[in-house]
């Protein structure tokens, strides 16, 4: 794996500093959020991905979770949750601040962030819809291959009732976020916060950036692309413009995958 930005999982496990386990070719939004936060703060993070020298199921066996990202910092307990990864980054570099200092703004920021990244937030709920689409062989467009859909469905509690709630939740969050952009360029106050990074990267689930900016493996790009007219109707022009602007102004392009 030499010659590119990614090392093996075995290598990053044995090294020091800031490291993160990722998936090659898959812009998992929780991983992309961490990449974006580290980038904005100028933190150097070494990426690791499954390679031939790694044992099978390395992430699950080593860190208790098969998912990505897993963020390692020195000898600290590995972090997999979006909020703890953000708080680590803020501790390692407070420039620029991505968590507002004022308590009300901070609570607002974490509330919106949870609506995007948390359990039954936008990303979680939209993933349930992608799983439903995959398992029902629906006609709205391409989705995950059955093996992946089954794995994700089992892991993230897929059932049809839950998927109906997920659809309402996706719409609610899109409307909430759209309304927040009515008065400005950022979701909280007049400066960049973590919420802006979260939306930019999670928006790829519905409207992935072009191939030249986001070189995802083709079936993932297809699975991520939203064909559902009702959902697309809630994705405002302001939300799309925000995604593009945050990538252009703050994040690494093309996205390292």
- In the complex, the residues that contact ligand GSH under the rule CB under 6 A are 28, 30, 66-68, 80-82, 117, 155
By beta-carbon proximity to ligand GSH, the closer residue of 178 and 201 is 201
Q: How far is the CB of 151 from ligand GSH (least distance, A)?
A: 6
By beta-carbon proximity to ligand GSH, the closer residue of 187 and 224 is 224
Q: How far is the CB of 248 from ligand GSH (least distance, A)?
A: 25
The dihedral built from the CA positions of residue 66, 36, 200 and 50, taken in this order, carries a sign that is negative
By beta-carbon proximity to ligand GSH, the closer residue of 65 and 252 is 65
By beta-carbon proximity to ligand GSH, the closer residue of 110 and 191 is 110
How many Å apart are CA 248 and CA 146, to the nearest integer?
35
Taking CB positions, which residue lies at the least distance from ligand GSH? 67
Q: How far is the CB of 102 from ligand GSH (least distance, A)?
A: 25
Q: How far is the CB of 80 from ligand GSH (least distance, A)?
A: 4
Dig out the tokens for 92 from the structure: 């390692």
Q: How far is the CB of 24 from ligand GSH (least distance, A)?
A: 13
**Among 117, 139, 87, CA closest to 200:** 117
Give the sheet arrangement for strand 6-8, strand by strand.
6-8, 46-49, 18-21, 70-73
By beta-carbon proximity to ligand GSH, the closer residue of 68 and 216 is 68
Burial class (CB in 10 A: 0-12, 13-18, 19+), 14: exposed
List, in order, residues 6 or more apart from 141 with CB less than 8 Å away: 133, 222, 225, 226, 227, 228
């Amino acid at each position: 794996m030499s010659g590119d930005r990614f090392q093996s999982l075995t290598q990053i496990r044995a090294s020091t500093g800031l490291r993160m386990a990722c998936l090659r070719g898959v812009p998992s939004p929780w991983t992309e959020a961490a990449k974006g936060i580290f980038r904005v703060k100028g933190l150097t993070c070494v990426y690791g991905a499954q390679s031939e020298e790694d044992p099978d199921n390395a992430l699950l066996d080593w860190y208790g979770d098969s998912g990505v990202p897993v963020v390692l910092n020195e000898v600290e307990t590995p972090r997999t949750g979006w909020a703890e990864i953000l708080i680590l980054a803020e501790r390692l570099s407070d420039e620029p601040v991505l968590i507002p200092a004022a308590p009300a703004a901070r609570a607002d920021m974490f509330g919106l962030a949870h609506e995007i990244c948390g359990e039954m937030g936008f990303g979680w709920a939209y993933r349930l819809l992608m799983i439903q689409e995959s398992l029902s062989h629906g006609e709205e467009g391409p989705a995950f291959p059955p093996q992946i859909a089954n794995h994700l469905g089992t892991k993230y509690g897929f059932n049809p009732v839950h998927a109906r709630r997920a659809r309402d939740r996706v719409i609610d969050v899109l409307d909430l976020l759209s309304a927040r952009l009515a008065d400005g360029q950022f979701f909280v106050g007049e400066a960049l916060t973590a919420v802006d990074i979260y939306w930019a990267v999670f928006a790829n689930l519905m409207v992935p950036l072009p191939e030249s900016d986001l070189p995802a493996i083709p079936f993932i790009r297809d699975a991520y692309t939203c064909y559902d007219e009702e959902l697309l109707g809630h994705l405002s022009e302001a939300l799309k413009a925000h995604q593009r602007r945050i990538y252009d102004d703050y994040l690494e392009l093309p996205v390292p995958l």
